[in-house]
Structure 1
Amino acid sequence: MILTGAGAGIGRAVVARYVAEGARVVAVDIDEEGLASLADECGGAVVPLAVDVRSWEGNVAAVRTAVTEFGGLDVLVVNAGITDGARPLLDIDGPDLTGAFQELFAVNVLAGLLAVRAAADALIASRGAVIMTGSYASFHASGGGALYTASKHALLGVVRQLAYELAPDVRVNGIAPGIAPTRLRGIDALGQERSDSVLEGTAAVLPLQEVPSTESYGGLYTLLANATDSGHVTGTMISADSGLSIRGLARPGGRVRTP
């Protein structure tokens, strides 16, 4: 198995869940420190690999490592991503827009295409699975800024198109988290630092009234990796948004008491 964006957040939690289920994982990230601590926690089940997912060579190296270390590749999890800090289009200076677009789309969209292309032969041979991390913003506005929302909508299209192109040999699906306590890297071209995904008061606007942990998403990723349980599922993006998409106008949920 290969999982990108493994150094922190949902990716790190999912690696731990996969290892608990008996998987062996090539954990990919640019954060060498995060990878080292993850490998220490998970032992020999995790092979850390610090590469840039935006490069063809980095993705080839990840596949080569999986095949060499594990004898093959059956699951590819495309999880690496960055945010635009919910920056509206009109708040981005025109001269900065092209560079910001290219940087964000390179990580959020291109990297996934590169990963699947590099892994295609190995996944076809194993009749494996691809799982991509989408977002609430894959379906709705205001889950980020213009660039982030566009990239996550694009990723939904990638999931559907690749599910078609790789059928019947490889299943391609995604998970679309809504809220998770993570710190995402911003766009360097805009001078953005890492930012918290959860703001004060977030729980109160969710129908389920609780911010889920990063660990709570692990079961969905193991479900889609397991052909016994989800061998009939492809081209699907599972929404896991704590009910954000069904919020009411007056209050988050029918039985939620508001002041």
Structure 2
Amino acid sequence: MSRLGGRTILVVGGGSGIGRAAALAYLDAGARVTVVEHSSELAATLRADTSGRLEIVEGDGAEPDVLAAAVAAARGATGLDHLTCCVGVFDGYASIRELDADRLLATAERAWRLNVLSALLAAHAAWPALREARGSLTLTLSESAFRPAGGGVLYGSAKWALRGVVDHLAADLAPDVRVNGVAPGGTTATRFAGDGVDRDERIAAATLLCTTPTPADHAAAYLHLADPATSRVVTGQVLLTNGGSR
């Protein structure tokens, strides 16, 4: 049997980027995978690229009704072994010096809802099924959860909050459900930084390994945490996958 053969996994926010890479890694490892994706276009692309081998629930990954439907679809008749949360939004390096009060409030509420509340709602929807399976949960943080890099204060503070969620949720759901996180560093993209320096080159230059991670580079950490054979006694931990940012 393949590494995750026979296991069922739900990925919330799995239509693009790191979430998509994790979902594909789970699928390739033999798991039955269900993905929640807000964008119909991204959902259609993922469906086509996987020849329909995974199930997709289209909707907002921060809406309780969508998450309940996704858990039911993923659980099926065999149960739910693992939940991965990848919903998130970037703040564009927003500074409170440059935002008026209304924009600050709106941006902060959106950052909290999509980066933090979405994970809490997903965990709330899935924990009974995960408890029954003695399963696991992986949240997606960022190196911004450890230092002021890769975003502004709103994005960074939301990711810092997720560090607390990992710690507290690991205690709250113990001993039945393992809770961990992955904190990716800057990841390859095609856009350019405002100063004209290629973003990928800038990221690579700031890492000890002199490399820019791709979404697929982070997937191994998700596989490790979802696999009870390799992480049976791992909970309350965050794996940094940032190339040794400095």
TM-score calculated relative to the size of structure 2: 0.90
Q: How far apart, CA to CA, are the structure 2 residues paired with 1:183 and 1:57?
A: 35
**For residues 218 and 87 of structure 1, do their structure 2 counterparts lie closer, same or farther at Cα, with a shift above 3 Å needed?**
same
Contact 1:9 1:183 in 2 (8 A): no
Q: Distance in 1 between matches of 2:201 and 2:102?
A: 33
Aligned length: 232
Taking a change above 3 Å as real, the CA distance of residues 169 and 182 of structure 1, as seen in their structure-2 partners, is farther
CA distance in 1, matches of 2:157, 2:56: 31
Please give the secondary structure, in 1, of the residue aligned with 2:147.
coil
Q: Would you say 1:13 and 2:21 are equivalent positions?
A: yes
Partner residue in 1 for 2:231: 230
Cα drift, residue 200 of structure 1: 4.9
Aligned position for 2:194: none
Which residue number in structure 2 is paired with residue 164 of structure 1? 171
| 1:32 counterpart residue number | 40
1:106 and 1:198 mapped to 2: Cα distance? 27
**Residue 64 of structure 1 is aligned with which of 68, 72, 94?**
72
Matching of residue 94 in structure 1 with residue 95 in structure 2: no
Contact 1:88 1:145 in 2 (8 A): yes
Deviation at 1:179, TM superposition (A): 1.6
Poorly superposed stretches of 4+, deviation over 3 Å: 197-200
Q: CA deviation at 1:71?
A: 2.5
Paired with 2:183 and 2:206, the residues of 1 have a C-alpha distance of: 18
Written as runs of structure 1 = structure 2, the 5 A alignment for 1:89-128 is 89-128=96-135
Counterpart CA distance in 2 for 1:43 and 1:115 is: 26
Aligned to 2:5: none
Aligned counterpart, 1:141: 148
> Secondary structure of 2:97's match?
helix
In 1: Cα distance, 2:130 partner to 2:223 partner: 17
Matched position secondary structure for 2:123: helix
State the Cα distance separating 1:241 from its structure 2 match: 1.4
Corresponding residue number in structure 2 for 1:78 = 85
SS at 1:27 equivalent: strand
**Map of 2:183 onto structure 1:** 176
Amino acid at match of 1:26: T
The CA deviation at 1:199 is 5.1
Q: Mind listing any 5+ residue stretches in structure 1 that lack a counterpart? A: 185-196, 248-259
* 1:42-53 correspondence to structure 2 within 5 Å: 42-53=50-61
Query: Unmatched 5+ residue regions in structure 2?
Result: 1-8, 192-197
**Could you tell me how far apart the structure 2 residues matched to 1:213 and 1:237 are?**
19
Matched residues in 1 for 2:11 and 2:190: separation?
18
